[in-house]
Amino acid sequence: MIFSEWNGAYYNAVAGILKAAADHPVTKEEMRRIIDEQAFSESILSIEPSLSGGKWQLLKEDGTAAVRYPPTMPLTLLMKRWLKSISLDPRIRLFDFHVSGLEEIPPLFTKDDIYIFDQYADGDPYEDPLYTENFHRILEAVRNHSPLSLEVMNRRNNRTRMNVMPEYLEYSEKDDKFRLFTSGCRYGSVVNLSRIISCRPFHGDCSGYRQRPPATSGKRVVIELLDERNTLERVMLHFAHFEKEAERIDEKHYRVTIRYSRDDETEMVIRILSFGPFIRVTEPAGFVNLIKKRLRMQKSCELQ
């Protein structure tokens, strides 16, 4: 719950109020301000009355904290074991992730506990020092919006030099690969990171490079979902990086429209099928046929 971006906001809001109350009596207006900054607007309806009304016995009547020390949120053993498991993923080393203090903690799970199907086996070489170095340079260039000069091995195994403006990085679960979306190059706008041989800053003229929008609006799929077992929340998180719209049909059913690029169509089929009977694709007809085809393939392979 505390690791959840949504649910963790409630803990942080209450902790912020208690830290303020340890220093001085807090008013309802100050509580509402802290809740609005650290949680959600509708959270005021539950958190503020629970604290000021005494349901949660954390504040005194004068608005000071009922606890002696300011609140802290130390990691539990379960959290540490989960973090240790995440630290074993070779992809985490591409980012600034520090594992100090977890050396003696056993992992909650390892890669041997997970079986992934419908994913290609030739993923990116995450443990290759050259790949890691290129990834760090590209990520910094994306953040600073600074041009790069890339040497890439093309599909014909020929070396190609290209000067590009990096726009954003994208990870494909189906391919287990990172892709760099760029602008300013006549050879194409998408580069697989595993094909990059060298990467260095480009100091030439890039005034003519135009920023390209994320390629997530080419196609769309409409799904209807039954909101049981937190299906709606899981769908929103699972497709967080896609452009989407959601509307409520009734108390239990929702309609969600997701826009995606053509290159991600197979991955979209796999992701939607992972939700099982809680999701039904309604349109377009072509995507419905892709779902039926994939299910027939699974049945023929005796994959239930």
Beta bridge partner(s), residue 150? 162, 199
The CATH code of the domain that includes 237 is 3.30.70.240
31 is a domain residue = yes
Who contacts 86 (Cβ-Cβ below 8 Å, separation ≥6)? 92, 97
At 96-155, the pLDDT tens digits run 777 788 889 999 999 888 877 667 778 899 999 999 999 999 999 999 989 999 999 887
208 is a domain residue = no
Structure tokens at 15: 């902790």
3 is a domain residue = yes
- Report how far residue 5's alpha carbon sits from residue 194's, in angstroms, rounded to the nearest whole number: 31
Pairing relation of β-strands 159-172 and 279-283?
Answer: unpaired
266 is a domain residue = yes
- Report how far residue 50's alpha carbon sits from residue 52's, in angstroms, rounded to the nearest whole number: 6
- Report how far residue 290's alpha carbon sits from residue 273's, in angstroms, rounded to the nearest whole number: 11
Q: Count of domains in the chain? A: 4
| pTM of the complete model | 0.58
At 178-231, the pLDDT tens digits run 999 888 766 557 889 999 999 999 887 766 555 554 444 478 999 999 988 888
Q: What is the mean pLDDT of residues 245-253?
A: 89
255 close to 243: Cβ distance less than 8 angstroms: no
**Is residue 226 located within the same domain as residue 296?**
yes
Rounded to the nearest angstrom, the gap between the alpha carbon of residue 300 and the centroid of all alpha carbons in its chain is 33
**Number of other CB atoms surrounding residue 101 within 10 Å:** 11
The residue segments making up the domain with residue 3 are: 1-73
Residue with tokens 């009977």: 277
